[in-house]
Amino acid sequence: MKLADVIDLNRVLEVVCDECCQRTPLDPTFFVTRRGLAARIEDIGSTLVCPCCGSHDIELRSTAATTMLERA
């Protein structure tokens, strides 16, 4: 999935950590300014670490914004 799709579908990004099981929501527009609309979230995920524990064992996913709100 590309960042353009994430924004078109009104979704948000989240880092899901296999190490500490934290889910950290991220604003996709932040990555658009750095990587452009054509960047793939799989490629961006490979450059990130978990903001909570610093593990590289993470997956970057797109999630419906409403799902995120229900969890809060």
Give me the residues that bind Zn ion (CB under 5 A), please: 17, 19-20, 50, 52-53, 55
Distances (CA, A) of 54 to 10, 16, 32, 33, 44: 28, 12, 23, 23, 16
Q: How far is the CB of 7 from Zn ion (least distance, A)?
A: 26
Distance of alpha carbon 55 from alpha carbon 26, whole angstroms: 17
* Greatest alpha-carbon span in the chain: 31
State in angstroms the smallest separation of the CB of 44 from Zn ion: 17
Cβ proximity to Zn ion, 13 vs 17, nearer residue: 17
CB nearer Zn ion, residue 17 or residue 41: 17
Considering the complex, what minimum distance in angstroms separates the CB of residue 4 from Zn ion?
A: 28
